[in-house]
């Protein structure tokens, strides 16, 4: 009997840990799936995705830089995709229609709250970046009840547009990078860490009580986390837990069962550390 086929699409994608994560989820839950990574051409993500589904693909994860395009290609979008304009999970249903979801925000929140014990209620949260990665996590962050969520970006106009889009959901605003306030929690949603870069940090945004979180994962602290430590941040964490948690939500959407993430995260952290 052939296995149901799933995949992750990105550019680049060779570094992706998603095949490993989903194979462990399948092993744990007894679900029989085939999950692979595909590097889609920058100029033909749509064609690559359509070919995958036309050949029997059941579902896909989508990563940089295709999340916005993925949302546009779907036949139906859930509410979070409609608002954020970004999708990281696609599912082909029995009727042949492609449905889009965004599990990044719930993945981030589960990692912060359940894995790391970070309480966002009443806290000042600074979110760096105004692209698809940032847009996908704003709604769940606001649902956690922060005192304020401040978006900072190199292009202030994009941060302002993003803040307006979510303004009806809670206290969200945009500030120029130089004017960002001191943060109880600061989250890097820029792509800087993917290239070993460092997003601009305003003087005073990191204080001794700050918890710093990078949505990128790495075997060693990213430049962003290293800089936050230098500035005196109380705690830092990378996005490996978010990766596992958002993958578990995608697995639930596809297979109807949510894997236990604790053991997979421990196993993955050990394998990443060995690289």
**Residues marked as catalytic:** 67
C-alpha separations of 243 from 66, 72, 159, 223, 265 in Å: 17, 23, 24, 19, 9
DSSP state of 148: E
CA-closest candidate to residue 198, choices 231, 225, 166: 225
d(CA 252, CA 233): 35
Label the pairing between strands 206-214 and 89-92. unpaired
Sequence-separated (6 or more) residues with CB below 8 Å from residue 133? 64, 67, 86, 104, 189, 190, 191, 215
99, containing H or E segment: strand 98-101
d(CA 200, CA 184): 18
DSSP string across 8-57: EEESS-TT--HHHHHHHHHHHHT--EEEEEEE--TT-HHHHHHHHHHTT-
């Amino acid at each position: 009997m052939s296995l149901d086929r799933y995949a992750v699409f990105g550019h680049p994608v060779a570094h992706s840990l998603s095949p490993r994560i989903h194979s462990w989820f399948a092993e744990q839950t007894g679900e029989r799936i085939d999950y692979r990574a595909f590097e889609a051409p920058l100029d033909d993500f749509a064609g690559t995705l359509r070919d995958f589904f036309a050949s029997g693909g059941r579902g896909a994860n989508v990563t940089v830089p295709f999340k916005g395009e993925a949302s546009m290609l779907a036949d139906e979008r859930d509410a979070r995709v409609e608002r954020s304009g970004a999708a990281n999970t696609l599912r082909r249903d029995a009727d042949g229609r492609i449905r889009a979801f965004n599990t990044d925000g719930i993945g981030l929140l589960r990692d912060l709250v359940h894995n790391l014990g970070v309480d966002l209620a009443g806290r000042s949260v600074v979110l760096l970046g105004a692209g698809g990665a940032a847009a996908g996590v704003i709604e769940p962050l606001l649902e956690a009840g922060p005192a304020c969520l401040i978006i900072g970006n190199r292009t202030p106009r994009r941060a302002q547009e993003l803040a307006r889009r979510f303004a009806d959901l809670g206290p969200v605003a945009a500030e120029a990078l130089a004017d960002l306030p001191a943060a109880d929690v600061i989250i890097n949603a820029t792509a800087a860490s993917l290239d070993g870069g460092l997003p601009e940090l305003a003087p005073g945004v990191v204080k001794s009580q700050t918890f710093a979180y990078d949505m990128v994962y790495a075997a060693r602290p990213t430049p962003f986390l290293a800089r936050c430590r230098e500035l005196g941040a109380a705690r830092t964490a990378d996005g490996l837990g978010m990766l596992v948690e958002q993958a578990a939500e995608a697995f639930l959407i596809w297979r109807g069962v949510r894997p236990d993430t604790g053991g997979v995260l421990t196993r993955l952290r050990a394998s990443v550390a060995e690289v």
